[in-house]
Amino acid sequence: MKLESFVSGQWHTGSGEGTPLVNPVTGEKIAEATSSGVDMSAAMEYARSEGSSALGSLSFEQRGALLKDISSILIANRQNYDEIARENCGNTKLDAAIDIDGAISVLRYYARIGASLKDQKLLCESGEDQLSKEPVFFGRHYWTSRPGIAVQINAFNFPAWGMWEKIAVATLAGVPSLAKPATSTAVLANRMMRDVVEAGVIPAGVLNLVCGRGEGLLDAVGSMDSIAFTGSADTGQMIRAHKNILQSGVRVNIEADSLNATLVGPDVAPGTMLFDLAVRETVKALSIKAGQLCTNIRRVFVPRAILGEFADAVAAGIDKLVVGDPVDEQVRVGPLVNKQQQQQALIGIAELSAEAKMLRGGSERLDSNLHETGAFVAPTLLLCEDPAGSRVVHELEVFGPCVTAMPYDNFDGGLALAARGGGSLAVSLFSDAAAVHGQGINYLGPWHGRLMIVDEDAGKNHSGHSIVMPQCTHGGPGRAGGGEELGGLRGLRLHMQRTALQGSSKVHGVLSANAAEVTL
Ligand code: NAP
């Protein structure tokens, strides 16, 4: 099967031999993808003219209804997706649900936001400022849809959620999307898009898909377009530095890799609920999607006095995890998405091992079949006794089931160690002490896009360290790329232009009559 691209209103088969896509359990080729021969400039022009005008004629409420339609089509075809996610991504049922049902729920969430904005097409911010001595001239900010395309380049680990969360936000903002899934796991994105296109409910030009490497895509973007990129820091930097991106002033949002941390508070003792929850979250980081989540916990900082008990509890959790072919329902840890990822993860674990002791994992715990034919990596727990004097544990992201536990001697020191990730997507803190929460909120804020504090009141009701909620922004400073996605209405800012309107009350009355008032 050769995956086709959907551009200029039709399915297009790329020319020449494509990149092989494999089943990561068996190594067997299941599809190939190439975008060679796709005329990217024509595809962009078509989306700009057809898609922009179609969405521009719709209110927020109507765009929300389109998102609801998409989610209904995906729900109707839901039974086909688990199998694809298993075959192409090595997903267990739970892994697939996080990706597929996560995609459906983010579409539904933005559909509801659309409904709440009613029949308007503009947004205006609450509050105005008087700009003249007499109260006759005022300033207020409003937002309009940009007449360009949202180019969405995604990583391999979330072929469903990654594509639809970006499409949901852009569509509601009135901007057509051109999605480019990562080649190695593009089967699911391709199938979902085909289901939606074939249902015939989405106006021409609104949804576009490029399967394959996307040659020429970056050269085809123009000043009103945007690029939302999720992937490695290296590719993110290449995109930022691309000549056409620099010259055209395209908006770029980068979601890159990250050394996310969890802190066990100084008030948390073994045997308590918070200790157990922190252990559970760490074990989840070593099993769900085989650790291939961008927000996954990579480093855990624990008070030195209880580090041994914490590590023992995590190791006991690892020992219960079944690694293997997700076709077996007992399996909790599937393979990484391909041999190349396995190789990179094992090299990374070896590098971390120079600074940390291996308590569980590495490649030796897997039977040779899993290791040789499949892209498996055993859940790996490392212990680094000297985090302050170490470097690699704070800088190298092993994109697989690998966590390093480390001690801190006082909480200030623990906070400083968390910041050594250089800017991360997510950090979590398990503590019931208000003073600890206060320190965490102050110190961790600038270094992280999201801080999850689990205290006794929230307990097990928390949404999970790694789970991205559409209500909250997703992205992080520094090394994590400096981008922001989602966050309810905040996500629309990438696709809309904020303009300061200066004028009389009469002028502002016209704006108010034509815009939904929001707080952004
Ligand atoms: P990657 O190698 O950087 O690839 C990301 C995407 O960029 C892929 O779709 C890739 O296409 C595309 N790409 C590469 N060169 C391109 C070019 N010249 N023009 C257009 N597209 C181009 O990253 P990955 O290996 O897929 O993902 C793993 C990394 O992503 C990890 O480091 C992880 O931390 C990070 N990640 C971050 C987030 C987040 O939200 N911050 C989420 C998930 C993953 P091809 O596949 O065709 O090469």
Tokens standing for residue 203: 């106006």
Q: Does 124 qualify as catalytic in the annotation?
A: no
> What are the beta bridge partners of residue 139?
129, 502
When pLDDT is averaged across residues 231-248 and rounded to a whole number, the result is 94
Distance from Cα 155 to the centre of ligand 1, integer Å: 4
Nearest to 40 by CA among 17, 1, 12, 21: 12
Distance from Cα 214 to the centre of ligand 1, integer Å: 12
pLDDT in tens, 327-361: 999 999 999 999 999 999 999 999 999 999 999 99
Is 256 touching ligand 1 by the criterion CB < 6 Å?
A: yes
Tokens standing for residue 364: 């030796």
- Tell me the angle at which helices 93-116 and 81-89 cross, rounded to the nearest 10 degrees: 120
* pLDDT for 271: 96
Distance from Cα 233 to the centre of ligand 1, integer Å: 8
pLDDT in tens, 434-465: 999 999 999 999 999 999 999 999 999 999 99
User: Which ligand 1 atom is the nearest neighbour of the CA of 481?
Assistant: 41
- Listed in sequence order, the residues at least 6 apart from 479 whose beta carbon sits closer than 8 Å to its beta carbon are 233, 256, 257, 258, 259, 421, 422, 423, 424
pLDDT band at residue 235 under the 50/70/90 scheme: very high
pLDDT in tens, 395-421: 999 999 999 999 999 999 999 999 999
Is 344 touching ligand 1 by the criterion CB < 6 Å?
A: no
User: Which ligand 1 atom is the nearest neighbour of the CA of 480?
Assistant: 41
* pLDDT for 363: 66
* pLDDT for 365: 65
Is the predicted pLDDT of residue 74 greater than 80, yes or no?
A: yes
Nearest to 281 by CA among 99, 470, 462: 462
Q: Return d(Cα 495, Cα 146) in angstroms, integer.
A: 6
Q: Return d(Cα 220, Cα 244) in angstroms, integer.
A: 8
pLDDT band at residue 520 under the 50/70/90 scheme: confident
User: Which ligand 1 atom is the nearest neighbour of the CA of 214?
Assistant: 20
Q: Return d(Cα 291, Cα 280) in angstroms, integer.
A: 14
- Listed in sequence order, the residues at least 6 apart from 367 whose beta carbon sits closer than 8 Å to its beta carbon are none
* pLDDT for 342: 93
Q: Return d(Cα 34, Cα 85) in angstroms, integer.
A: 20
Pocket-testing residue among 178, 232, 254, ligand 1, by greatest number of atoms within 8 A of Cβ: 232
Distance from Cα 285 to the centre of ligand 1, integer Å: 21
Q: What stretches of 240-333 adopt beta strand conformation (E)?
A: 251-255, 261-264, 299-303
Nearest to 480 by CA among 258, 239, 227: 258
Distance from Cα 252 to the centre of ligand 1, integer Å: 14
Is 155 touching ligand 1 by the criterion CB < 6 Å?
A: yes
> What are the beta bridge partners of residue 143?
123, 498
pLDDT in tens, 139-195: 999 999 999 999 999 999 999 999 999 999 999 999 999 999 999 999 999 999 999
Q: Does 125 qualify as catalytic in the annotation?
A: no
Nearest to 364 by CA among 379, 385, 354, 352: 379
pTM of the shown model: 0.95
Average pLDDT value for the chain: 96
pLDDT in tens, 262-305: 999 999 999 999 999 999 999 999 999 999 999 999 999 999 99
Is the predicted pLDDT of residue 43 greater than 80, yes or no?
A: yes
Cα distances from 445 to residues 50, 310, 362, 427, 477, in angstroms, run 42, 26, 33, 9, 10
Rg (CA), the chain: 24
